[in-house]
Amino acid sequence: MNEATATDPRLGGEDDATTSAAQVDDHDTGADRSRDVAAEPSGDPGRPTEEEITTIIEPPRGWMPLNFREIWQYRELLLFFTKRDLKSKTKQTVGGYFWVIFPPLLQSGILTVLLGVIAGLSTDDDSTPYFIFVFAGMAIWRLFVASFSASSNCLMGQAGILTKIYIPRLLIPIASTITGVVHFAFLFGVLAILMAIFKIVPTWKILLLPVWIGLAMMTGLAFGIWFASLSVRYRDVRMAGNMIIPFWMWTVPVAYSATELFGKLDGKIDSRFIPPLETIYKLNPMYPIVQGFRWSVLSPDKMTFDPFWLVPLVLTALLLVMGMFFFRRVEATFADIV
């Protein structure tokens, strides 16, 4: 029986071939049937069809609206970019965030000696030490500078991302701007310690502190997003931005009092020119932010809220909206140029 069974394949070759062919036909028919079933639309209403899951990506044309919903969908990536930028600032350093605090302290000390001691300038409040007056202005100014510098230079180091994957390009400058808030938190902590040492008690005006922080970030992003859009094609814009910042600081009352400045000009130039010069000076977008920050934190007696502060702030908001639209207009060319 065992030997006969072993020789059966040779004895019944024709029948076996017929049986194998029938099995192959059945297999092919089953495969075709499976393909037909897969091609037919499912009767389950919860299952998406081919048309429902197809995403078509087309190159943008002309002026496009701001898609904040898309930015919100990529909020986890925004958080990742922010964490990455924070780690890169202190990577392979011994001092860490000490280098965030020390330069403004040193700069404020030098300006206090030059302007407060040697030049004999005063503050908006005689009870506020000149060093704290300068450091308060320096803290909010450094927030603006961090937002401007990071957002204006953010695209130059992102060639690997811009040329390989699609993400909302606005995520990159926005994430760079958020990083500056963390650095500002350290500076404000030092300012709070100095205020406690000199027994400077804030008033209800401190509640407006988030407003000035947000406005400083908005101003830095407004200018930075224009510089970022242009610096991809014209590298000279990046160099110009780095050169403008040191000069810009002296046009803002960071290290001196605006009241003291125009008081010194009185009698040295024709009094008819002082009001128009003062108006032009106050149109500086950082002027109301620095003044408002000191007004909220230090509450100097000689400083009051000026409704004219709203004028440069409105102009800066318009500049930000226009910059975002321009950014969206040219972002399609970033991958080809960067």
Q: Work out the pLDDT band at 40, boundaries 50, 70, 90.
A: very low
Alpha carbon distance 195, 297 (integer Å):
9
pLDDT of residue 232: 78
What is the Cα 108 distance to its own chain's centre?
Answer: 26
Q: Work out the pLDDT band at 3, boundaries 50, 70, 90.
A: very low
Q: How many helices (H) and strands (E) does the chain have?
A: 16, 0
Give the number of C-alpha atoms closer than 13 A to the C-alpha of residue 22, restricted to the C-beta side. Answer: 6
Give the number of C-alpha atoms closer than 13 A to the C-alpha of residue 254, restricted to the C-beta side. Answer: 24
Q: Can you spell out the DSSP letters for 243-293?
A: HHHHHHHTTTTTSS-HHHHHHHHBTTB-TTTHHHHHHHHHTSTTHHHHHHH
pTM for the full predicted model: 0.75
Alpha carbon distance 60, 45 (integer Å):
33
Tell me: the pLDDT tens digits for 204-232? 889 999 999 999 999 998 998 888 888 87
CB 226 within 8 A of CB 256: no
Could you say which DSSP state residue 116 is in? I
Tell me: the pLDDT tens digits for 96-108? 778 889 999 999 9
Average pLDDT over residues 227-252: 86
Phi and psi at 269, nearest 5°, equal: -130, 170
Tell me: the pLDDT tens digits for 125-176? 777 899 999 999 999 999 999 889 888 877 776 767 777 777 777 788 888 8
110 to each of 30, 100, 107, 131, 140, how far by Cα in Å?
86, 17, 5, 9, 18
Burial of 170 (0-12, 13-18, 19+ CB in 10 A): buried
